[in-house]
Chains A and B, each alone.
Chain A
Amino acid sequence: MPDVNAAAASSSKILSVRDLKLHYFTSKGVVRALDGVSFDLAPGETLGLVGESGCGKTTTGVALLNMPSPPGKIVEGSIQIDGAEIVGMRDHDLRRSVRWSKISMVFQGAMNCLTPVYTIRALMLETFREHAETARLEGAEAESLLKHYMNMVGLPEHVLGRYPHELSGGMKQRVVIAMALFLEPKVVIMDEPTTALDVIVQAQILNLIKALKRSLNLSYLFITHDLATEAEVADRIMVMYAGKVAEIGTNQQIFGHQGPVHPYTQKLLSATPRLHKKVSELAFIPGAPPDLIDPPPGCRFAPRCSFAKEKCRSQEPRTTALQPDHVVACWKAVEDAEYARA
């Protein structure tokens, strides 16, 4: 079976992550938050990132900007955005040419990611000034660009003159989305953009995201723990567990009648109640994610997996492509597939 690494060299990928390892060097030990994560993102594609809290979703997001929060460091691996290698790039170059201009991020909890002492306009203009492409913009030109993006996210123009605390949660989220877009980056990371909002606003924001995706042909990395949202927006889904990739598949492969092949993904799906199905009992996954300072040998999900065998507990499963576009790291899944083929 073809190994996923061989398929990587395709130049049509806008984002290419290979074997990314990000560790936090704390006083209690080295936390291996990301331990060999690989995935691709094609232009115009939305890749959804799912997993429990602490599995490494947000860490992946900030890693792509090469901004791990201290005491974190990227120790190994490669991140290629639009052909440029991010890992090892100097901070100065990252600021000038990568951050925000090539890849931007819509943050989790838009509540607090706007500096409270500046107006929206001031914040946006500041970002313009720091980037070569937009630094030349002055006065009326800049203003019209700002207004354009306000309109794009469905906000009235007077929002520009407001301070963050004067805006509602939904408005702030829209502002943050606008700010992520106005330098027209190729990749936008969305980190739980709807989690802190109420249901109605959530729906509005999701619609906005989908509309923008269509109109701007952006690639999204959509991070959330909410499977239902993923099902709505993502083209492909990547499931992470304990700092490693469990399964990557298309929306159809994961949510379709075939269903996912990794035991963890299966459990995740069954833990989510469906409106159209009668649910007598909600399944849950017993146990807790492993300690990332000293993870168990072998498959990290083995302690909680009902299918775990000897091999699972001693050997780490390799990421294998069951089909092009469907990748999984699980001994059972691979065996089942071989069995089915035989």
Chain B
Amino acid sequence: MNVRDALEGLRDFWREFIKVKTGLVGLVILLAFVALAVFGPSIVPFPGATDHWRDITFWQDNPQAAPPEWVNALPWVSKKGVVSSFLSNPKLSDEKQESGVVVRTCLFTYPFSSDEPPRDVVVRFEGEGQVPVDVTVTRPDGLSAELYREQLDIAAGVLQRVSVTNNCAQSIIEFVRAQNEDLASGLDADLIKPTSILFSRIDPSLANNPTMLKGAYTITVTALLLNDQSRFQNPTIVVSGHVSGLLGTDVSKRDIFTGIVIGSRWALIIGILTSLITVVLGVVLGVIAAYFGGVTDWLLSRLYELIYLLPVLPFLIVISAIFKPSIWTLIIIICLFFWTGPYKPVYSMALQIREETYIEASRALGSGRMRIIFRHIIPILLPYSFAVMALSVPAVIVYEASVSLLGLGDATIVTWGQVLHDALGQGAVISNLWWWVVPPGLTIALMGMSFAFLGTALDKILHPKLKTR
């Protein structure tokens, strides 16, 4: 079978494949998942998010249990919550003064148009040495509020955070005082919500029912680099709002879309790897049993029955609970159960093929048994085994998800099942955090569906038309 024949065969196959609509749907969905796994990490809200799923500090500035951004667009939502955003790339300018001090100014613009103030605004940066830092906000009504002015002693490599909610309460009150003495006196630093005041009109309604001041806000972060050892870099601002990300956040403040992206990578790996191993095992064993017959056949048939009769999930659960296997060991164990799937049809087909005259002819010509198996029998069954491969993936994914749901999954990776485990355990069901529960299950079902469609289409096209006797 040379290259041109193979290409020709592929072209014919493709032409047949396009005709089956469900197969195309399955393929499209599958490709979407592959795209998600490959390109997803670049569109997560925080760069590098996919490597920090279990890192609490990474997510600390995210809102907790926040619904997805697009909830704002829903017709029945009257109060549009603040969309959490990540401001980076400020306008940087350095100004060197005669004293040798460099004044580094970072200008961030933030357009505010929600009906509620953000939960927090956090200025993050890294640096080294003694660095005085100043944070000032210029509001759309022209007023400027100096929120923060401190001389910091920064350690290298440690992320610095200035939180408006936690660090700037007093400054906010001062800001109000500068505009209206009376209003300011009614404010208590421990009780106010600094962001609420920062983003509202300064008028008598401020204390109890503030009106949002919508418009463009400029946040200026100024740092004084006193000498050559001083550093100030990577300034970013996290606006923590009420809605966040494509799929919202969970109770640990993690962006759920990120979880889905990582999960799709693993789902693909698990699904494809398992089905590959399973099919190879099933096909080879099936052909060997059919061809050699006798004791081999008897042994394999008994093994088949044994595995067939064992309840898979209970066994998986107990094995996982006791031995706590890694994901790779789990995959191997699942394969040990699933090879029975392709085994049976391959076995019966191989039995039929064995009786074909060209096999006899091959023997007569002196071909060894292995040669016959691999040269004649398996190539016929090979295309069909792709169909079987695809059809066994949904079950595998569900099994892994089930094991993970019980908390028995591999803790070094992130799968959709684990996300659901967290959801279940941290009360997503009770608190109606639907954005946490629905997407992972939906992706499990969708991926299963895509493989099921693909498998059915492949089965229709590639099923070997053996002579029925």
Q: Are chains A and B touching in the complex at the 8 Å CB cutoff?
A: no
Residue ranges of A at the interface with B (Cβ–Cβ < 8 Å): none
